[in-house]
Homo-oligomer: A and B are copies of this chain.
Amino acid sequence: MVAQISPQSADASAEPALGLTDEQVNRVFRALADATRRDIVRRTLTAEASISELAADYDMSFAAVQKHVSVLEAADLVARTPKGRERIICGNPETIRRVQELLGHFEQIWRSRIDRLDAFLSERPE
Judge whether A2 and B56 touch: CB under 8 Å: yes
Judge whether B103 and A57 touch: CB under 8 Å: no
Judge whether A4 and B42 touch: CB under 8 Å: no
Find chain B residues with CB under 8 A from A104 CB.
100
Task: Kindly supply a per-residue 1/0 record for chain A positions 82-111, scoring 1 wherever the CB is within 8 Å of any chain B CB and 0 otherwise.
Answer: 000000000101001101100110110110
Question: In whole angstroms, how far apart are the Cα atoms of A113 and B47 in the complex?
Answer: 8
Find chain B residues with CB under 8 A from A29 CB.
29-30, 32-33
Chain A interface (Cβ within 8 Å of chain B)? 1-9, 22, 25-30, 32-36, 38-39, 41-42, 45-47, 55-59, 91, 93, 96-97, 99-100, 103-104, 106-107, 109-110, 112-113
